[in-house]
Structure 1
Amino acid sequence: MTTTQPVRSTPGTVRPGDVVRVRSKEEILATLDANGRIDGQPFMPEMLQFAGRELPVSAIAHKTCDTINRPSTGLRRLENTLHLTGARCDGSAHGGCQAGCLLFWREEWLETTDGAPLLAKPAGPGPAATEQTLADDTVAGIADDGATLYRCAATEVMRASTPLPALEMGQYVDDVRSGNFKLLFVLRGLLVLFFNKFQALSRKLPRRLRIADGLPYPFYKGTGPGPKAEPLGLQPGDLVEVKSKEEIMAALGPNSKNRGLIFDGEMLPFCGRRARVLKTVDKIIEEHTGRMIHLRDCVILDQVTCVGRYHRFCPRAIHTYWREAWLRKIDEPNAGTPDSGPPGPDSR
């Protein structure tokens, strides 16, 4: 179990588990530019509810996945940014988006428990941003069909970050030194990274010379889709079991998708495990367009997030989306019977 402790007052020494305090609304607004941002990173209205609260640091957000480009070009570098435990976006200022993204916190918006700013930033020459500034920045425009196009930290990640090549090895040292991941976890992940680069090159070889036909590890590919599964009608709190890899592959097409929703390799370690439904997901903001899209038969599971083992140790802890066809509802005649639960934090 991770223990929490007050953050040291020396800048640059924050680690996961340290407790920090979100600065006051007025102090935060004074750090923002005319668009409500620092270096392209927006401070969103949903973050105001955390002002004055003390929260543990969950990860040092020195990098994050590129979820904008299709296909993704990899990871992006962030500066002076943290993730805080339990501080997820509730979507209240973004049309009720249910993605529940872990928020990005610039160090300028945080202070130690004794009131020392993590990173001092003098107020700019112009007037401070206002709550209206934050509200105005949530809308990027109106589409031709009249749909609202939203703007949030997830849609703006390219503006708030810089490219981070896979072979820039210092990032992996930082993954361990920051306390985000254990050394063995990173070493195993690097073996997978280099093996998959070999796999990509091997696709130019004759098929008889390839390993698993050149598929990247962890070697999975849809074999269906099979017959459409009957909806389970899952509700928050329901106990479910993730189906086996073979059962899920039969529900996926060759592109590893089920009706447009992708099954990611990060989800494979959860096969056969049980978890509670955290919530059903009906709508999320599409990050590369800002458009709200609607989902069906989709849930997220409690304590089940991407841990970055196959995505270069991204610490963003994105919720994974599960089709009901990939799950099995578990009846609970004895409410007190414990379940096996998802992989614990020692996996990182």
Structure 2
Amino acid sequence: MLDTSKLKADSLVRAVRWENRELFLLDQTRLPGEVIEERQETVQQVWESIKALKVRGAPAIGIAGAYGLLVALREKLDLSQGDFMEEVRAQAAYLDSSRPTAVNLGWALRRLVKKAEEADDKSPRALFEVLVAEAEAIHQEDRMLCRGMGVHGAPLIKEGMGVLTHCNAGALATSELGTALAPMYVAQSQGINFRVYADETRPLLQGARLTSWELQQSGIDVTLITDNMAAHIMSQGLVDLVIVGTDRVAANGDVANKIGTMGVAILANYFGIPFYVACPSSTIDFDTAHGKDIPIEERDGDEVCEFGARRTAPPGMKTRNPAFDVTPNALVAGLITEKGIIRAPYVETLAKTFQG
């Protein structure tokens, strides 16, 4: 059993908060300069918050989507039973359209729709209570998933190690400890001394703005580097382990994560550094056989043409801005899950662990 009283991460601000049946999301686009929480008044606001990356990280997006469906439905309790169920399905589909790559969003929304469809009492008010309970269950389950990944991944981190991570897969991306950062928080609570190198993660700087801030707040020794410094830092023998998160894992173990992750995996493979991916079972997509079938979100090119508030590219410049890339399973030393570390061959081991 994990003693959370020793986890300094417990004091971190939460990405998603559900209190008195109101949804509050931390606006992560303002970090680290400002810590601002926004009450979500409408489903349109929730959709925009997810799309604009005010809330981000696959587990947090799933939790926000589940609560977002409640925001959409709470003013529709006087509809007929049939019309209310139509709204459940329509609003779930609307929220699911906000971001395509993270599997948790669609997973959570489908789970709520199915729960409503299977309920005995179909009256809108009764269905709404069923959906509230299910959304809260998803939130609590994610806390336990994070703790499980932390417990199983912490033994990988040894005294004096250097650990590199890319993007943000910590408390800000989930309900509590995070995915990739969970083993770090658990190792810290066990008195293990180690250092973390955080890639800045262009173009939206989630590593610089979020991961470095989060780890600094928790007291973990963290050093921020630009993305193109990773190879040099590895070549100096400063990195012993890489742990990243993921937005979707295909049935064969291919991993979709923030753009730049595949490059880190290739570098780690070249330098003989183990590359691990932390993923809760909710992020494993058995309906997608291979990574090539994962939809990759393409974002506005202005994100590439700007740094901060300043334009850094010529007017009219053509851009590409894929938000994610897919790391082949051959580069993954193991998947850190709440049930333990899963290793190749992933088609067999993932199915046996989570479908057997």
Q: Which protein is richer in helix relative to its size?
A: 2
Name whichever structure is richer in strand by fraction.
Answer: 1
Instruction: Give the alignment's TM-score, normalised by structure 1.
Output: 0.26
Largest Rg, 1 or 2: 1
